[in-house]
Amino acid sequence: MYKCQTLENGLTIIGEEIPYLKSISLGIWVKAGSIIETKENSGVSHFIEHMLFKGTKNRSSKELAREIDNLGGILNAFTSKECTCFYVKLLDEHIDIGIDVLSDMILNSCFDKKDIEKEKSVILEELKMYEDSPDDLSYDLLLENIYKDHSLGMNILGDRNTLKNFKRENILDYYNKYYVPNNSVISICGNFNFEEIVEKIKDKFKTWEAKEASINTTEPKFNPCIIKKNKDIEQVNLAINLKAIPMINDREVYALSVVNNVFGGSISSRLFQKIREEKGLVYSIYSSQTLYQECGELGIFASTSNENVEEVYKLILDEIDLIRNEYISLQEMHESKEQLKGSYMLDRESTSSRMMSNGKNLLMRNKVDDEQDIIDYINNVEYQDVAKIIEKVFNKENIGVCIVGKDVENISL
């Protein structure tokens, strides 16, 4: 069971004590991601993520890395469409050092001009790396076109022009506006005492001042599209998105999880069994759901040879039609529920996973469900919920498609 406390400066701490473990995972979650950026500062959230590792008033970049590395711990971060997380995982006896390092990064990072210029080159290389990854490229191109003219469609990394034009004062303006305690959550999970850890966090973050962090986003419009991108690679990567639902309605969210599991979310799913096992047309094929505060997508991904793309695409559309017209069986629904519960409980054995789940849910949904809540949500999915979510999501009028590969302009979709 988790405990929660909000400090005077608005920083909310959520903790889950697991006394039989020897590790602790602690993450600082900030409600700042690419969705609140503009075309002019696209990529700034991700850029700030990098800059917090480049040195503080108290530690060099190397000292930040070495202090956690030397303890056998992990210090890392990631930026998503809607939030950023900086986190550590350490033995419980070293958590004071982890809190000190993270607070130093948040409160005392230098944003040195020379480091800013150097990091532009690093992220340009990161952009090139993703462009060389056809599955990432196909997904990014798809989002860019599905959500055209909306920040949700912009690349989390930004682009070459925005990176080139970043100035220290603009980066700091954005940082000082959104990276504030009342727009943040600290999530901690593992072997600790909640009341003691709250006092330590309160001491380290007492100078972090609350400010108004006004975040206003509009619901993105889903634009159906077919995108083709030529790239000299051995396979064609196929990415498909169906317009789905936002994360706000628990009944719909878990109904979609049950359906996705049957459709393409596991190796026993329809897509995997039909297109890989029966037809032998792909090595990799799966579906997954990505849900935001205002919208969501059901993504379908496959990679195959040029000569097989049209057949694979047709088979996927056939499976969409089949599930829309006939739904799923009661047996499939039951098996999917059991699979989801098993997967969820196994995932709960990781302090990192629990910390991530608690932090993100509190930050983005302002609520955290305990284990029994989740199991109840899954158990309480009824057949009528499944039917409603299939009718809402499995609609080929709201579909976006992107293929990346050699000579794809000749492929007919």
Closest CA to 10 of 249, 143, 179: 179
Average pLDDT rounded to a whole number, residues 67-84: 97
Helix (H, G, I), strand (E, B), or coil: what is residue 255? helix
**pLDDT given at position 359:** 98
- Each domain of the chain, given as residue ranges in start order, spans 2-204, 225-410
Evaluate the CA torsion angle 62, 68, 69, 70 in order and state its sign: positive
225-410 has the same fold as 2-204: yes
Mean pLDDT of 231-238: 94
How many residues are there in the chain?
A: 413
| Phi/psi of residue 21, nearest 5 degrees | -100, 165
**Mean pLDDT throughout 235-251?**
96
Instruction: For the sheet with 284-291, list strands across it.
Output: 225-230, 399-405, 236-243, 296-304, 284-291
Nearest to 154 by CA among 10, 60, 42: 42
Of 279, 267, 270, residue with least CA distance to 323: 270
Q: What CATH number was assigned to the domain covering residues 2-204?
A: 3.30.830.10
Residue with the two structure tokens 């490229």: 137
Question: Which residue numbers are catalytic?
Answer: 49
Q: Are 284 and 320 in contact (CB under 8 A)?
A: no
CB 156 within 8 A of CB 47: no
Closest CA to 80 of 27, 147, 31, 19: 31
CB 221 within 8 A of CB 396: no
Distance from C-alpha of 93 to C-alpha of 270, rounded to nearest angstrom: 47
Number of other CB atoms surrounding residue 65 within 10 Å: 14
CA pair distance 317, 322, nearest whole angstrom: 9
Three-state DSSP at 157 gives coil
pLDDT for the residue 275: 98
First-to-last CA distance in the chain? 50
Say what the pLDDT of residue 178 is.
97
Count the alpha carbons within 13 Å of 283 in the hemisphere toward its beta carbon.
6
pLDDT tens digit sequence for 2-58: 999 999 999 999 999 999 999 999 999 999 999 999 999 999 999 999 999 999 999
> Distance between CA 203 and CA 365 in Å, rounded?
27
320 vs 316: CA distance, rounded Å: 6
Q: Which helix H or strand E contains 346, and what residues bound it?
A: helix 330-347
φ/ψ of 230, rounded to 5, equals: -75, 130
Nearest Cα neighbor of 13 from 203, 291, 214 is 203
What confidence score (pLDDT) does residue 330 get?
A: 97
**Within 95-165, where are the H helices?**
95-108, 113-131, 134-146, 160-165
- What's CA 226's distance to the chain center, in Å? 24
CATH code at 225-410: 3.30.830.10
Q: What is the pLDDT of residues 344-399, one digit of tens each?
A: 999 998 999 999 999 999 999 999 999 999 999 999 999 999 999 999 999 999 99
Residue 323 near residue 390, CB atoms below 8 Å: yes
| Helix spans in 225-382 (H) | 250-263, 270-271, 309-326, 330-347, 351-365, 371-379
Query: For residues 357 and 354, what is the distance between their CA atoms, to the nearest angstrom?
Result: 5
Q: What is the average pLDDT value for the chain, to the nearest integer?
A: 96
| The pTM of the whole model exceeds 0.75 | yes
Q: Report how far residue 236's alpha carbon sits from residue 408's, in angstroms, rounded to the nearest whole number.
A: 8
DSSP for residue 149: T
The pLDDT of residue 215 is: 81
